[in-house]
A = this chain, B = another copy of it.
Amino acid sequence: MTTIYDIAKKANVSAMTVSRVINNTGRISEATRKNVKKVMEELNYVPNSMARSLVLQKTKILSLLITDITNPFYTTLARGAEDSAKQNGYKLLLGNSDEDYAKEKDYVDMILSTRVDGVLFAPAGDHSLDQLRQLQTHQIPFVLLDREVPELASDMVLGDSKEGARRLVDHLIELGHRRIALINGSMDVSTARLREQGYVEALKLAGIPVDEELMLPLSYRSVDDLQVLDPLLQLSDPPTAIFAANNFIAVGVIKALRAKGISVPEEISIACFDDLGIASELHPFMTVAAQPAYQFGVLGMQLLIEKIEGKTDPQTHRKLILPSELLIRQSTSALK
């Protein structure tokens, strides 16, 4: 690999002059600048960013950690983050925790040793606190995405989980449903708790009793157990509608219902949080509270970069809450 010294020698200047040409710093005569540039071309020179990082103490690498790389919500978010990073001259190291704290921890170790300038962090859940404390200890700036972590002050970009859930459940209530089940993510995830709150609130406001039997906390990752719904379906007064706390849960529910020969929305209505990407384009079927995923990425990146570049007061923490959009499609219908 050619170094600035190779360039320097061939151009008959010092390494320092080459460095100045590369970085456009200091005063350089047009002649030497041209010459140095020519030699750089000839030798196919590419700066070594490791060496640069070592002395500059910054890498211009940012990291994005998501919890499920196959979920359209996160991939769309990732695209937003990437576009925004690139625009600002940063590289993006992408990681995927699979909703798994151990993987998340591995990833944070990696982040630390790579000395990235900052992290866009979608936590697996409340226990991500350990990993985030690690980042704080090492003074790596981060912005939380999608999920909040109790006890932790930080910049963050969140959805309106409670309000979105409320509207989704309201919609079901308006259709005449009174037995509405909630299939939720794990209760150590902030969004799951808020979506439950929204669900409960909507029911209470409508004077519908909240029945614990109808509330099933599972996991945001795709569920493949076709039997998961059995406890609900075997109830003496089974649900006529289901609110799935995210898109993958909804898919799992649909599969389970299909296996039982139960048709949607004829026999049971279903609505969920998060749109389904390509699935909804192909077949706009599911009624959803669609979150502005791309914006999550862009805004999160914006907050992060401002933080890194010191354009903001490090004491104050900003919390952006992005509204979701209720898209009523065919998976929900009036109770007969």
Contacts and interface: CB of A to CB of B under 8 A. Distances in A.
Interface in A93-147: 93-96, 106, 109-110, 112-115, 137-138
A222 B96 CA distance: 25
User: Max chain B CB contacts within 10 Å: which of A114, A251, A255, A285?
Assistant: A114
Q: How large is the interface on A (under 10, 10 to 19, 20 to 34, 35 or more residues)?
A: 35 or more
B91 A94 contact: no
B75 A70 contact: yes
Contacts of A86: 106
A219 interface: no
Contact of A46 (B44, B113, B279, B282): B113
B46 A50 contact: no
A31 interface: no
A254 B277 contact: no
User: Max chain B CB contacts within 10 Å: which of A110, A254, A285?
Assistant: A110
Interface string A216-259: 00000010000000000000000000000001101100110000
B279 A49 contact: no
A59 interface: yes
Contact of A113 (B47, B79, B137, B277): B47
A1 interface: yes
Nearest to A103: B86
Interface of A: 1, 44, 46-51, 53-54, 59, 61, 69-72, 75-76, 78-79, 82, 86, 91-96, 106, 109-110, 112-115, 137-138, 222, 247-248, 250-251, 254-255, 276-279, 281-283, 285-286
Given A50-B114, A251-B282, A282-B285, 6 more contacts: A50-B50, A70-B72, A70-B278, A251-B278, A276-B279, A279-B283
